[in-house]
Structure 1
Amino acid sequence: MSMARFSPFELVLINSRSQVDTATLLLLAWVLVHRQHVSEGQRRRRLAQVTAQFRHGHELGPVMGIAHSQNLQAIQLAAEILRKECSPERSLSVIHQSIAVATDDGELSMANHYILRFLADLLNVTPTTLSTLFYELTGRPFSTPEDPSRHVYWEQHNPDYFTQKAREAAAEQQAREDAEEQARQKAQQREQKKQRKQQEKQRQQEEAQARQENTRQERARKQQRDEQQRRERARGEQAKHDQARRERAQGERRQWQRTSLPPDRTSRALAVLGLPPGASRSDVRIAYRRMAQLHHPDRFYTESEHKVALASARFQRIKNAYDYLMQTY
């Protein structure tokens, strides 16, 4: 059979590994040739990019040539292949790819506006789904031209008809509202009778609760007075205990000072570290580390506050003696 009997697109289909991919390729190319301000090289690169996973197995050049020639018979053949062979998932994928290649630069040409609607109708994709996909990809709504089959068109071009419809709807709404109002009034009367009975019962309960509340408040006031007296006694005892503890601490501090201070400052500092006169700088360091470990306040954190205070005072004397000796030696 002579190959001349086949059209260029039919020859491409014969050599294709996947006729569905080839048909999709032609329709995407059809969209690309209607892109404005795009060079031929950019169109071919974009087509190759978006169809990289296709299994057609042939060059893109012949398909782009068919798309440029606006061969409606080839486009119709590709559309019929997609209508018969595409699954719902593949149909959505084709629409997704078509929107992407039609709006790369953010602008949608008038021709591609109608091509997208044609493809959506061809693949049984609803206008709502098409608008949703378009908005998700571009961030802009998919504008809808005037269409006599739509309700909005007749609202604009035949206002008298819709005015009459609005009057009839208003009358029906008023009738419904009147019936609802009568039903509400009857229900309200029944509710009022019920509420009067409940109010009488509630009044009796409130009087009983008021008597119980007075009794509870009186008992609470008595408990509060007893608690306040107990706290005052506890504060007095605590104050006496704190005063005695401070006096003991002061006495022990004075005794410590009287027994631990040699005549001159250097001798006193050496005595605090437990060193004899003439000790070396190295002896001072060793003695300080030993005394600091022995008298550090952290060792007494489980003891009483008084012992912790005494330990802090001893440690401070050891630290002052060490600092003085390290500056003097």
Structure 2
Amino acid sequence: MPIARFSPFELVLLQSHSQVDTATLLLQAWLLTHRDNVSESQRYRRLAQEAASFGHGHDLGPLMRIAGQRDMQAIQLAAEVLRRECTAGQGLAVMHKAIAVATDDGSLSLANHYILRFLADLLGIAPATLDTLFQELAGTPLAPPQDLSRDAYWREHNPAHYRRQAEQEAEQARARAEAQQAEARRAAEQQRRQQEHEREQARAHRERQQREREHRQQQQERQRQHHRHRPQASTPPPDRTLRALAVLGLSRGASRSDIRLAYRRMAQLHHPDRVFSQSERQVALASQRFQRIKKAYDYLMQRH
């Protein structure tokens, strides 16, 4: 009979003196990982302050690692523990601590905005109650979340992405210009060689006129041998190469630089972290899409 394997968080729960406290601490660690401009050591110290009044009886290191890895199965299990075990009063206390952890520096990240609303819904706390509690603790109203689908939002909150995009476009333009220059040099070299070849042919023709009859038969034999041993035309790339190029939005003949640039662009657009706050199915689909992009990139880089 196979031995049951427990996840890291399940092992922590099994060792805990209070599963509710352990689940609460994991969700607080999850909030801390989404705090802006907070170091790892600061997160750990802040969590330790919260844990001082808890009866969990285990080290906080595993919880910080699980939260840092964004283990959504562990988060879901912690949420299930709170939903099942917390009373209404305990739920308000958990919400109070969550708001405090998320707003220590007076600001609230967009990710934590959604996490707080998720916790309130999980614990059965009405939106109006959440707004009142947030106003009392943070001193500012809990504004509606911004629309992430608007380009203006991302230009304000993630300007680095647009700078990188402009740099990538400039790099692509430079690569195209360099490719055009290289093609022009190749064409000029090919023309020079063609002219030299034609001059050589003219000299050889004058010499061949004297030996033509003598060597005609031998020349015909060489031509027959040449046709028999001429290399076959190269086969088109296998279907897997074409599929990998299609995944990255490229066509046949793409260079290593094209492949690398396409991968960076696709990875930034489809990385699972960009949809972490959405449903599990959307996160899973994003992960599968990112894996296809990574596999296509690895295969093409090995082929070039």
TM value normalised by structure 1: 0.43
Which fold has the larger relative contact order, with Cα–Cα distance below 8 Å and residues 6 or more apart in sequence? Answer: 2
TM value normalised by structure 2: 0.47
Greater radius of gyration (CA): 1
